[in-house]
Amino acid sequence: MLWLYVLPCVLLLAILVVLGYAAYIHYQHVKYSHLPGPKLKGFFVGGSDFLDEIGKGELTLAEAVYNMHKEYGRVIKMFFFHAHFISVIDPMAAKTLLMNNEFAKPLYVYQGFQKVFGQRFLGYGLVSETDTTKWERHRKIFNPAFHRKYLMELMHVFNDSSDRLIQYLSIKADGKTEVSLMDAFGRLTLDVIGKAGFAMGDDMVFNDTPFTDALGTAFEAMSRQGREIFLFMNPRYSAFKYRSKARKAIQLLRKTGEDIIRQRIEDQKQGKDLPKDILSFIIKEAIVEENFSIEEMVDEFVTFFGAGQETTANLLSFTLLCLGQNPEVLKKVLQEVDTIVGQKEVLEYEDIAKMEYLMLVLKETLRLYPPLFGTARYLHCKMEIAGYDMPVGTTIFFTNYAMSRAEDYFKNPLTFDPERFRRDEDK
């Protein structure tokens, strides 16, 4: 008869949990009731009609948030169950929070980069580290690796990989074969990162390797983990199989990085000539720091490929799209390239700085098509943003896509106009 006593206790506990959760959700709603935003779809689940359009495949998250900002202004609020989402498009607030390391990255936002289905992925690299002290230590080590003098020594890699891309596309250019330039640019950037960063000998432009396949699988899994919040615990065999595939891909990536790093450290100990790549530089700097572990180096290895490959491939792809849609801009770019590069077979570092109009085109492309949705910071103190009081404990999202298309900051924001970055009023 023990169950006669246990069952009421279990039911009472369940009721208390539900009531407690409901009370917390109500507290969150009251806490941010002064902020504008779309009407909630439901008390417990939150959501909005805007987000329904994402589920139907009609809009991306960035486009949905952009539409909400157009309707509600510089600050919007949404709720997903108990979690608040405060999106801000205010340059001054962005400057204040992003340039002050006292405002940390919120763990619940970035932990999806750190681990995928429980497997350490980007770990605690520059993108995903939320401890500002540790982040500053990593940044100190990596900053000199991107100095102008150091990058000049890598121009041969950039030229060689670009030549390989031209060869790859020339083979495909038969007038019949469809080519995904996003894929082609992805191959190019992987090849450059692999050679310039870690002296990897694989030809990643022409060849699909286990490493490149694993990289694609791992980043797709990271994206799905963020979109499908219950995928981690889905009991179906198909979900279990997918999680297992993702974990194995990540293990391959990290094992590849660890092997390369350990071999380079051993070569250095034996006094061998080391490649003039980013890894050699990092290892030298890490020795000075002393407490930079192999695991941390592997985190940065994976981060380099992840953060560098997709963002650069996106930029190149959208730049080509914008040039195709704006023939007058394309004509100016070609004239500039012909004037500066001409018939040169090798591009010099100094040539890049001379192509001023091309730089404007890249900036305008990044404005319209930023490679990242945005970034977030945690408020450890009260703060006024765009005329609204933000309480302690608020997570602020800066949505790049919406901010760079706001009429408050750019004239004719949907027009592709590289010259806007020459005009003082648009700077």
Question: In terms of domains, do 145 and 251 share one?
Answer: yes
| Interatomic CA distance for residues 308 and 354, integer angstroms | 24
Q: Which of 325, 359, 386 is the C-terminal boundary of a domain?
A: 325
The answer to whether residues 262 and 118 belong to one domain is yes
Same-domain status, 203 and 278: yes
**Residue 377 counted as domain residue:** yes
Chain-centre distance of CA 334, in angstroms? 30
Only one residue has tokens 């948030």, namely: 65
Asked which of 290, 325, 360 is the last residue of a domain, the reply is 325
Tally helices (H) and strands (E) across the chain: 18, 8
Does residue 393 lie within any of the structural domains? yes
Structure tokens at 85: 């989402």
* CA–centroid distance for 353 within its chain: 26
pLDDT recorded at residue 350: 92
165/190 same-domain check: yes
Same domain, 278 and 382: no
Interhelix angle 210-227/181-192, rounded to 10 degrees, is 110
Q: What are phi and psi of 74, to 5 degrees?
A: -75, -20
Contact 78, 48 (CB under 8 A): yes
In a domain, 342, yes or no: no
Residue 199 main-chain phi, psi, to 5 deg = 55, 35
* 17 part of a folded domain: no
Domain that holds residue 142: 108-325
Same domain membership, residue 63 and residue 175 = no
CATH code for position 278: 1.10.630.10
Per residue of the chain (427 residues), what is the pLDDT tens digit?
666 667 778 888 888 888 888 888 888 888 999 999 888 887 777 776 766 766 677 788 888 899 999 999 999 998 887 788 899 999 999 999 999 888 999 988 899 999 999 999 999 999 999 998 888 888 888 877 777 887 888 899 999 999 999 999 999 888 888 989 999 999 999 999 999 888 888 788 898 889 989 999 999 999 889 878 788 888 899 999 999 999 999 999 999 999 999 999 898 888 888 888 888 888 877 776 667 888 988 998 999 888 888 889 999 999 999 999 999 999 999 999 999 998 888 999 999 989 999 999 999 999 999 988 889 999 999 999 999 999 999 999 999 999 999 999 999 999 999 999 986 555 5
Distance CA 178, CA 171 (A): 12
Reported as type and span, the H/E element at residue 9 is helix 3-31
Using left for φ > 0, alpha for ψ between -120 and 50, and beta otherwise, residue 387 falls in left
Helix H segments across 270-326? 278-289, 294-325
Residues ≥6 apart with Cβ < 8 Å to 419: 360
Rounded to two decimals, the pTM is 0.88
Tokens in use for 29? 């709603």
Same domain? For 218 and 288 the reply is: yes
DSSP strand E in 55-165: where? 75-80, 83-88, 115-116, 119-120
Residues 175 and 307 in one domain: yes
Q: Are residues 80 and 120 in the same domain?
A: no
CA angle 88, 89, 94 (to 5 degrees): 85
Q: Give the pLDDT confidence score for residue 373 in this predicted structure.
A: 84
**Total domain count for the chain?**
2
Judge if 388 and 320 occupy the same domain: no
Cα–Cα distance list, 409 to 35, 90, 134, 420 (Å) = 22, 9, 34, 11
In terms of Cα–Cα distance, which of 224, 227, 221, 229 is closest to 248?
221
In the block, tokens 């560098």 appear at 308
- Whether residue 280 is contained in a domain is answered as yes
Last residue of a domain, one of 288, 303, 325: 325
CATH number of 69's domain = 3.30.43.20
Assess if residue 8 is contained within a domain: no
* Within a domain: 337: no
What percent of the chain has pLDDT above 90?
52
Residue 291's pLDDT is 73
Q: What pLDDT shows up at residue 423?
A: 67
Of 167, 161, 168, 172, whose CA–CA distance to 202 is shortest? 161
| Angle made by CA atoms 65, 66, 70, in degrees to the nearest 5 | 115
Rounded-to-integer distance, Cα 78 and Cα 38, Å? 7
In a domain, 14, yes or no: no
Distances (CA, A) of 101 to 96, 130, 134, 178: 10, 10, 11, 46
Same domain, 99 and 112: no
Do 116 and 137 share a domain, yes or no? Answer: yes
202-226: per-residue pLDDT in tens?
A: 788 898 889 989 999 999 999 889 8
Six-digit token pair at 219?
């980043």
